[in-house]
Amino acid sequence: MKKLDLIKLPFNKQNPITVQVLGVCSCLAVTAQLKPAVVMALSVTVVVALANLIISLLRKTIPPRIRIIVQLVVVSMLVVLVDQVLKAYMYDVSKQLSVFVGLIITNCIVMGRLEAFAMSNPPLPSLLDGIGNGLGYSVVLVTLGFVRELLGSGTLWGYPVMEKIGLFKIGYENNGLMIMPPMALILVGIIIWIHRTRNKDLQEQ
């Protein structure tokens, strides 16, 4: 596989959320607003990329029988680091994300990439694969955060867009369903629908 494909594929035909349907839990929980969605996306990207790199470097020394434990230790370390950085520099966002930063440890995308890729590939491709998958996850998260904050709260990154363009004066109202997690699931469904309509080879028979 070409190196560029490792980054490109997760955006499209190997997208962790819309094709592999992994990491859906966090993507429903943190996307009510754009800011936490972006921060979460970046955190996961950093964790997947670095975890992939570290595990790939260690892959020949890890005994197969305890590999999951080793992977978990590495991931936990990275997550704790990310969590501490967020608490230090973005305290309000860190509070909004609450347990979901910690839950990156159990994010299936992270474990999935470690098992499926990093355990059997050299460091550089593993790093690229981690970045690619992290960004593939990010694209969906940011899209959801954008749509949900815009239609649900009428703001973007806290800026009152809908009010500034004067929509409220002509009777527009925020859609309360948008900030509820079920709507995120429905939106993910719509994204999957569009994605599969455009890529016929992804449709199951």
Partner 1 sequence: MFDGLRNFITKIKPNFVEGGKFAWLQSTFEAFETFAFTPNTVTHRGSHVRDAVDMKRAMITVVIALLPALLFGMWNVGYQTSLTAEWWPYEQGSAASWWYCLWFGFLRMLPLIVVSYLVGLGIEFMFAQIRHHEVNEGYLVTGLIIPMIVPVTTPLWQLALAVAFAVVLGKEVFGGSGMNFLNPALVARAFLFFSYPTHMSGDSVWIAADLWGSDAIAGATPLGELAAGSMPTASALDMLIGTIPGSTCETSVIAILLGALVLLVSGIASWRIMLSVVLGGGLMGLLFNCIGANAYMQVPFYYHYLLGGFMFGAVFMATDPVTSAQTNVGKWIYGLLIGAFAVLLRVLNPAYPEGMMLSILLMNSFAPLIDHCVVARNIGRRAKRAARKEVA
The residues that touch partner 1, with contacts defined as CB under 8 A, are 171, 173, 175-178, 180, 186, 189-190, 193
d(CA 176, CA 17): 24
| C-alpha triplet 152, 158, 164: angle, nearest 5° | 80
**Closest among 25, 188, 49, 21 to 99, alpha carbons compared:** 25
Q: Count CB-CB contacts under 10 A for residue 88.
A: 9
Residue with smaller CB distance to partner 1, 124 or 190: 190
CB of 34 to partner 1, least distance (A): 20
Q: Which amino acid is at 93?
A: V
**DSSP string covering 48-59:** HHHHHHHHHHHT
Residue with smaller CB distance to partner 1, 116 or 194: 194
CB of 177 to partner 1, least distance (A): 4
- Give the pair of three-digit tokens for residue 163: 């009010």
CB of 200 to partner 1, least distance (A): 15
Residue with smaller CB distance to partner 1, 134 or 152: 152
Residue with smaller CB distance to partner 1, 7 or 178: 178
**Closest among 40, 157, 27, 28 to 94, alpha carbons compared:** 40
CB of 194 to partner 1, least distance (A): 12
CB of 176 to partner 1, least distance (A): 5
Residue with smaller CB distance to partner 1, 67 or 196: 196
Residue with smaller CB distance to partner 1, 102 or 181: 181
d(CA 113, CA 49): 9
| C-alpha triplet 11, 14, 20: angle, nearest 5° | 120
CB of 14 to partner 1, least distance (A): 24
- Give the pair of three-digit tokens for residue 103: 């839950």
- DSSP E strand stretches across 9-148: none
